[in-house]
Chains A and B, each alone.
Chain A
Amino acid sequence: MRESYFPQEETRDLQSRIYWLFGLIVLALFGLLMRAWYLQAVKGKFYHELSENNRIRVVETAPPRGLIYDRNGNLLVNNVPSFNLYVVLGDMPDPADVLPRLAQLIEMSQEEMTRRVTFKKEDPFFPIKVKDDLTMKEVALVEGHGLDLPGVKIEAEFKRNAIHGTLAAHLLGYVGEVTQAQLESGLYENVKRGGIIGQYGIEQTFDAIIRGTPGQKRIEVDALGHEIRVLEVNEPLRGDDVFLTIDLNVQKVAEEALGNQNGAIVAVDPKNGEMLAMVSHPAFNPNLLSQGASSRAWEALLKDEGRPLTNRVIHGQYPPGSTFKIVLGAALLETKEATPSSRVECRGFLPFGNRNFKDWKRGGHGSVDLHRALVESCDVYFYEMGNRLGVDTISKFSHLFGLGQPSGIELASEKGGLIPSTEWKRQARKEPWYPGETLSVSIGQGYVTVTPLQQALMISMVANQGVFHSPQLLKKIWDHETGSIQEIPTAEGKRIPVSPETFRVIQNALAGVVSDPHGTAGGAKSQFVSMGGKTGTAQVIGLKGGVHGKLPDKFADHAWFVAFAPVESPKIAMVVLVENGGHGGSTAAPLAKKVIEAYLGVVPPLEPLTVKSPAPPPTPVRSEG
């Protein structure tokens, strides 16, 4: 102190309290220093980690899905580049301002935008896909407004592309973003939110093979989420390619044959169960759905009366009509209820109970044996014989032929159809079985429903003399990483307890259906190849056997034709169903002929009656029959 210079009475009064002030300040300084020590020394590691996480973000890069080929290596589904639009809410300071402007730029409705963006937002930095496959104009517009659209980014990615559009749409299926329910199901282990998985058809069934493994990119970002630099890249692993058993050429011919009619065509190789074609019409465009269809497009698909999303091959359940007589014929011979020479007198109707069950042919067929009954599709014969067999025996044999139960094909939600029995009726309807109902069942009406796929497998079994192969869709898998090709082995065939002699009789009769002048499928007779088959005309309404009045289209009968060829050594078995197509013989059978001729590769004008072997499949065809 230097008060000796100038003694200051007044300031002395202040001096003690100046120390108070100083003390307070120093105390506060010390407190803050302790706080800094706490943050930096005590919790330093914790905050260091936080700062690392703050700047490093792991971005998943979607793997290209494996390609899909037909059995001969024709490309069916591939990936093409696509510009997709994403929104990162965490990087968007004011979504209420940006989103409407973005919607305007890409001409999307506000509701649609809101619907897409509000789907789950637990992680604000998760990129939400708003639109797939932007046009060049949209890319330019969005990029041009980039600075006014924080949190909006365009990524160059792949989109799934079915090369032939709607061809085999139900079989190939489509892909889509994994849903919340699918994520929670635990079935998709390595799939994260936003991941693309197969949602239908082959894409769905073999998703695990096709999907591939996503790659990861560790990037350093700034506070706005902008990528500063890439720290580490794990390239995604491309999914495996799959070769289907489908034959593109046969599929094409089948689709063209069916044309605009609603219905289904299935073709299978009876020797090994490989599916050769699978058509369901009307179809959807898988590219539209894979690339994130708008809700309006979805609604249109769901509301369409033709139900284009339904795969009629496995989801459609129809009464089999007269094609069911094949099963009855086999049952008759196996149970010895009738011999091939047993006869029934057909006068055009069969009185039963208090009503007459009519034959489709007004005047009747006269005295018929099994062969003629099948060739001419005599109803009275099968009324009589069905009644003798009883519904439970019919049911037993139907099941032997795979009807009324899912075949186990590797496609989702296959339907089973229905084969009635007394037991079934007691349980399901709480009613006894009425004998008259057996008569309806005998000609494939009444409660009986089957899917086109079951029909195809049934006729395949007949063609293969009772050896059943599970339907197979996948031929081989090509792993790009190792370069290895895995052939899918054909499942061991199962012989059903029906004697070859029975099949000989039945096959003979079915050949007659096409070749006999009285046969119901005379119109399907091929110049080049021997065919066996059976027509069916399934009534949509009513059980008044044989009444075919004029009805509006949607109540018109369904036309069936099940067929196999060549008769001597069947290489293809198939079914044609034309919804509301009328008579099986005139509507469905000619379509089968086209497909069969296409598959067997007969060149029409030059080599009559010569059968060319099909395009040689790489695996030797295993034959059990």
Chain B
Amino acid sequence: MIDRRSIAGYDWLLFVVVILILGMGVLSIYSVTASSAVQARTPLYMKQIYWIILGWIVFLVMAWIDYHEIARFAYPIYVLTLLLLVLVLVMGRSAQGAQRWLSLGFFNVQPSELAKISLLLVSAKYFSDYFPKRGLNLRQLLVPGALVLLPMLLILKQPDLGTALAISSVFFSIVLVIGLRSKFLIYSSLLSLMMFPFLWQFFWNHLKDYQRERLRTFIDPTNDPTGTGYHIIQSKIAVGSGGLFGKGLFGGTQSQLKFLPESHTDFIFSVFSEEWGFVGIFILFLLFFFLILWGVEIAYKAKDVLGSLLAVGIIGLIAFYFLVNVGMTLGVMPVVGVPLPLMSYGGTSMVTTMGLLGLLFNVKLRRFMLFY
């Protein structure tokens, strides 16, 4: 029961937008890694293209299966996620001081990636089942709050601050859209204001050393110019030196000469900005703006609460990643190590993002369905 008018309409424009963003990503990866002295057998940009192809397949799958069908498995998926998260803490493979990977023999998975999708499904499912007409109060927030907090704490324990914050961004955008009772809003904000120092203390004490260091150097990057602050300074230099029109493809000295760390993953935006300048940034922002606008329209016109909330969560998640990543490279947010959706090199992020977009398209496709 797919509405043909939709595809025949202007949705192809959206595909163009996504493909353009993907193309910019591949180009930037190509630019940084092409000159690299150590050439892998398959160059990274080719690998990224393979991931993109896989991403489109996942997109199609996620768009095809009715989202109501998917949402029916929200709780089982949620329980499975929790199990995997516990498992990864017990017997996970660690990389760079964090235990995030779970080896499944033939390939490794990151349960925290799955947690994003399952939290999205659970939150949307729960709130659509128990939809509070005139906004949420504290009691109604208890159960979903607990549902979110549980995997969040497990992920923080890995530790993976970026994903934990991303999950909370899904939850908060859904809660924001459902709305809070005004009285509750006032009380809770007063309470959290009073609790802030204690919470901060608690939060600070539970951070790993390197996370604290990152936050500290975010406040003053020059404090530690060769350590953590190095990333921020080099990224700002890369972006700033791009100027209005950029240094052109392969022209980015910062990234070509490897002053930028993680240039093809977390700092791909710096590479892009250095080579394409403000003009490039402006176009990229415009593309992401269209993407989000498209999502917002889907959320707005969704057939039911479930669809709408799903769309809202997806927008929230993608916007979160984009804003935090770009904010980090521009030096206005701490380095938390989140990828730039659709552009950063990496299979997990690519497949997840494409899957989410597929789900978003799913909601749109089933807007005119009569029943389910």
**Given known contacts A21-B177, A228-B257, is B285 in contact with A41 (CB within 8 Å)?**
no
User: How many whole Å from A146's CB to the nearest CB in chain B?
Assistant: 14
Query: Which residue on B lies nearest to A30, using beta carbons?
Result: B285
Given contacts A11-B304, A35-B330, are A40 and B278 in contact (CB under 8 A)? yes
A51 with B241, Cβ < 8 A, contacts A8-B304, A10-B304, A33-B282 known: yes
Binary flags per residue of A41-52, CB closer than 8 Å to B gives 1, else 0: 101111110111
Give Cα A10–Cα B194 distance, bound, in whole angstroms. Answer: 35
**Does A14 sit within 8 A of B, measured CB to CB?**
yes
Per-residue interface assignment for chain A, residues 9 to 44, with 1 indicating a CB less than 8 Å from any chain B CB and 0 otherwise: 011011101111110011011001101110111011
Q: Contact check: which of B243, B282, B308, B332 meets A48 at CB < 8 Å? A: B243
Contact (Cβ within 8 A) B296 A22: yes
| Partner pick for B326 among A26, A32, A37, A90, CB 8 A cutoff | A32
Query: Contacting chain B: which of A108-116, A217-225, A265-273, A449-457?
Result: A217-225
Q: Which of B101-109, B154-162, B312-320 contacts A (4 or more CB under 8 A)?
A: B312-320
Q: A21-B173, A36-B330, A48-B240 are in contact. Are A54 and B315 (CB under 8 A)?
A: no
Q: How far is the CA of A357 from the CA of B253 in the complex (A)?
A: 89
B56 contacts partner chain A, Cβ-Cβ < 8 Å: no
Collect the chain A residues with CB atoms within 8 Å of residue B257's CB. 54-55, 220-223, 228
Interface of chain B residues 57 through 109 with chain A (CB within 8 A): none
How far, in Å, is A335 (CB) from chain B's closest CB?
78
Counting chain A CB atoms within 10 Å of each CB, the highest count among B131, B259, B304 belongs to B259
Chain B CB within 8 A of A259 CB:
no
Residue A434 CB within 8 A of the other chain:
no
Q: Is B179 an interface residue (CB 8 A)?
A: yes
Q: Which residues of A contact B253 (CB under 8 A)?
A: 51-52, 54-55
Which of B211-219, B231-239, B336-344 lies at the interface? B231-239
Considering only CB atoms, which chain B residue lies closest to A11 in the complex? Answer: B308
A51 adjacent to B316 (CB under 8 Å): no
Give the distance in Å from the alpha carbon of A479 to the alpha carbon of B208 in the complex.
64
Instruction: Give B41 Cβ to nearest chain A Cβ, in Å.
Output: 21
Q: Out of A20, A28, A124, which one reaches B176, CB within 8 Å?
A: A20
Interface residues on B, range: 35 or more
Given known A22-B292, A47-B236, contact A54–B312 (CB-CB < 8 A): no
Q: A49–B236 Cα gap in the complex (Å)?
A: 12
A41–B259 touching, CB < 8 Å: no
Q: Is A2 interfacial (CB-CB < 8 Å)?
A: yes
| Complex: A343 Cα to B201 Cα, angstroms | 106
- Nearest B-chain residue to A17, judged by Cβ: B177
Task: Tell me if A5 counts as interface (CB < 8 A to partner B).
Answer: yes
B327 at the interface (CB under 8 A from A): yes
Q: 0/1 per residue, A334-376, Cβ < 8 Å to B?
A: 0000000000000000000000000000000000000000000
Asked if B254 is an interface residue, CB under 8 A from chain A, the answer is yes
By a CB distance below 8 angstroms, the chain B residues around A50 are: 237, 240-241
CA distance A90 to B288 in the complex (A): 39
A6 at the interface (CB under 8 A from B): yes
Give CA–CA (A13, B177) in the complex, Å: 9
Chain B hits for A47, CB < 8 A: 236-237, 239-241
Contact A33 B177 (CB under 8 A): no
- Does B299 count as interface, using CB distance less than 8 angstroms? yes
Contact call A41/B278, Cβ cutoff below 8 A: yes
Interface residues of B in 134-192 (CB under 8 A from A): 173, 176-179
A29 with B289, Cβ < 8 A, contacts A11-B305, A35-B330, A40-B239 known: yes
Q: Is the CB of B178 within 8 A of A35?
A: no
Contact A55 B323 (CB under 8 A): no
- Residues of A close to B327: CB separation below 8 A: 32, 35
B285 adjacent to A17 (CB under 8 Å): no
- Our pick among A10, A28, A39, A45 for the contact of B236 (Cβ within 8 Å) is A39
A-facing residues in B285-302 (Cβ within 8 Å): 285, 288-289, 292-293, 296, 299-302
Q: Is the CB of A14 within 8 A of B305?
A: yes
Q: Apart from A11-B302, A18-B177, list 14 A-B contacts with CB within 8 A.
A: A10-B304, A14-B308, A21-B177, A22-B293, A32-B285, A32-B323, A36-B281, A36-B330, A40-B242, A40-B281, A43-B240, A54-B234, A221-B257, A223-B259
Binding site for A on B (CB under 8 A): 131, 133, 173, 176-179, 226, 234, 236-244, 253-254, 257-260, 273, 277-278, 281-282, 285, 288-289, 292-293, 296, 299-305, 308-309, 312, 315-316, 319, 323, 326-327, 330-332, 367-368
A-B contact pairs, 25 of them (CB 8 A): A1-B301, A5-B368, A10-B304, A10-B305, A14-B299, A14-B305, A14-B308, A17-B179, A18-B296, A20-B177, A21-B173, A21-B296, A25-B315, A25-B319, A26-B289, A29-B323, A35-B327, A36-B330, A40-B243, A41-B244, A45-B243, A51-B241, A51-B253, A55-B259, A90-B226
